[in-house]
Amino acid sequence: MTFSLVGMCRRKGMFGAAVTTSSIGVGSRCPFAAANMGAVVTQHRTDPQLGPRGLNLLAAGQSARQVIESLATDNPTVGWRQLAIIDKLGETAYYHGDKITSTHAAAQGDGVCAIGNIIRNADIPQAMVEAFSRVPDNHLAERLLCALEAGLAAGGELKQVKSAALLVVHEQPFPLVDLRVELNPQPLVELRFLWELYQPQAELYVRRAIDPDSVPYPET
């Protein structure tokens, strides 16, 4: 009952993930990313432990495919899980557990991987990848959000989506973008509203953190 993607901006070196679902708390449980390392999405009877574990393995030098293999090895519950991973080179990999019986699918492109489960049709991840790939010069957050919107337009999940999250990291140990919507009848509409408000301020918040003396006071 979730569709999501991980992606990279090759121009800027940003990594990110975006996800929407009919459940609450998706932003705290499913997308994970680390600057200069990559991103992980874990979903379907979600195990949030797999996100940090995946990032640690990426930090240790494993590729996306190797991380999938490591997370699936000697894991008695992995049959319930669905994963998507992108590494620092922009290579991607995904995993579908053998206990997932609903309609589920994945699609990959240059620097992007989309997955979905309990979705209306198996074409949804491909629609997401195509939307992400059509606007390579846009901000990574915008590309990820466009992909979610394309997934919804292509059919979405079987239940009404109610929550969504947008996560992007770049250079710093804290996120550049971390926006979340909870229990909203149109979470992607609300997420776009938040992103369009936040985008002009995103770099300013970074400057406030790392070089506050460079920010005029009061900020204009």
CA 47 to CA 110: how far, in whole Å?
27
Does residue 143 fall inside a structural domain?
A: yes
CA 147 to CA 134: how far, in whole Å?
10
Does residue 16 fall inside a structural domain?
A: yes
pLDDT value of residue 220: 54
CA 150 to CA 191: how far, in whole Å?
14
* Closest to 28 measured CA to CA, from 11, 49, 7, 58: 49
CA 172 to CA 12: how far, in whole Å?
13
Q: Residue 90, exposed/middle/buried by CB under 10 A (0-12, 13-18, 19+)? A: middle
pLDDT value of residue 216: 85
Q: What is the CATH number of the domain that holds 18?
A: 3.60.20.10
pLDDT value of residue 1: 80
Does residue 40 fall inside a structural domain?
A: yes
Enter the DSSP assignment of 11.
Answer: T
pLDDT value of residue 217: 82
Does residue 83 fall inside a structural domain?
A: yes
Structural domains counted in the chain: 1
Enter the DSSP assignment of 101.
Answer: -
DSSP of 22-90: SSS-HHHHSEEEETTTEEEEEESS--TTHHHHHHHHHHTT--HHHHHHHHHTT-TTGGG-EEEEE-TTS
Does residue 135 fall inside a structural domain?
A: yes
Does residue 121 fall inside a structural domain?
A: yes
Note down the domain range covering 32. 2-214
pLDDT tens track, the chain, 220 positions: 899 999 999 999 999 999 999 999 999 999 999 999 999 999 999 999 999 999 999 999 999 999 999 999 999 999 999 999 999 999 999 999 999 999 999 999 999 999 999 999 999 999 999 999 999 999 999 999 999 999 999 999 999 999 999 999 999 999 999 999 999 999 999 999 999 999 999 999 999 999 999 998 876 5
Does residue 219 fall inside a structural domain?
A: no
Does residue 220 fall inside a structural domain?
A: no
What is the amino acid identity at position 90?
G
